[in-house]
Amino acid sequence: MEFSFDINQLFPERVSILDQTIVAGPKSALRPDLQAHIATVIDELGRASAKAQQLPAAITSASKLQSQRHQLYLLKDGESNGGRGVVVGFLKVGYKKLFLLDRQGEHVEAEPLCVLDFYIAENMQRHGYGLELFDFMLQHKNLEPVLMAYDRPSPKFLSFLAKHYCLTPSVPQANNFVVYEGFFLNRSAAQLRKVPLKKPDGEIKPYSLMTREVVRQEERARPWPFAPPHSPQRSGSSQCSHSLSVESSPSRTPPQAAPASSPGSNRDQRPQSPLIERCRIRRTR
């Protein structure tokens, strides 16, 4: 994604981490014109991501980033565009309090790090940039992808997670978040709290207020673009290394969680766990 201004001046590092303060890198006072350029980049990325996901409104913008406690990882290619650099994409994460269903269907309260938005420029997709950005975030957070929750992942993203991190199948949820089997296995009791059932199932509100819901209310837009009634629903059970074939940008169909199968092993929680290593080996091959 090209801009009329110098991307390298705004973002000195290949991956920059932006938060509420918006400023990349050391929290020094930045010239107002540069601040404005950073805001333009974030707004542009947010719009492009929403378009790619067929969302009614952007869920990422400079003003939203300033008002929410999220972190945005921005990847650039500093050499392109005559040395001025181009923006390759971004990944936005944040903690959310969620009510989830474990494999036994019991309600569990957790506050995992969630992937909220993820976008690589159209002409740069499927070149490994998404993986580079995602791996950077995992290293930065010292986290394994199975311990994260995914806010309504698109078919491309589900395929990405299955291919690179062997994340499949997911544990069925009543809300828009997707979690995988190891999520419940690899957490200490302190991080997961069983929620007592006081009301009949039908009355339980299983999820917290989500960014996407807020956007929907803000924009008073049409309901989420669920797939037309006759569209085939995604199974969500893609095999590791077998990606889904999505030719064009996906319609934002709610992910259909696959039925839980055999429980995952109790894995090391570091990014270099055997599972990820296996995926990496497959990737390299």
> Considering the complex, what minimum distance in angstroms separates the CB of residue 266 from ligand ACO?
27
Q: How far apart are CA 21 and CA 236, in angstroms?
A: 37
Asked if 58 is part of the footprint of ligand ACO (rule: CB under 6 A), the reply reads no
> Considering the complex, what minimum distance in angstroms separates the CB of residue 84 from ligand ACO?
22
Asked if 135 is part of the footprint of ligand ACO (rule: CB under 6 A), the reply reads no
Total interface residues for ligand ACO by CB under 6 A? 30
Q: How far apart are CA 224 and CA 210, in angstroms?
A: 13
Q: How far apart are CA 231 and CA 63, in angstroms?
A: 35
Type of residue found at 195: V
Of 275, 269, 277, 280, nearest to 143 (Cα)? 269
- Kindly give the pairing relationship between strand 107-110 and strand 71-77: unpaired
Helix 155-165 vs helix 129-141: angle between axes, to the nearest 10 degrees? Answer: 70
β-sheet bridge partners, residue 73: 17, 91
Asked if 244 is part of the footprint of ligand ACO (rule: CB under 6 A), the reply reads yes
Q: How far apart are CA 170 and CA 179, in angstroms?
A: 6
128 known ligand binder: yes
Asked if 242 is part of the footprint of ligand ACO (rule: CB under 6 A), the reply reads no
- Please identify, among the stretches 67-75, 94-102, 188-196, 238-246, the one whose residues bind ligand ACO according to the rule CB under 6 A: 238-246
Asked if 243 is part of the footprint of ligand ACO (rule: CB under 6 A), the reply reads yes
- Please identify, among the stretches 7-15, 121-129, 167-175, 261-269, the one whose residues bind ligand ACO according to the rule CB under 6 A: 121-129
For the window 37-56, what string marks contact with ligand ACO as x by the rule CB under 6 A?
------------x--xx---
> Considering the complex, what minimum distance in angstroms separates the CB of residue 74 from ligand ACO?
13
Are 89 and 119 within 8 A, CB to CB?
yes
Asked if 150 is part of the footprint of ligand ACO (rule: CB under 6 A), the reply reads yes
Annotated binding site for acetyl-CoA: 118-131, 154-163
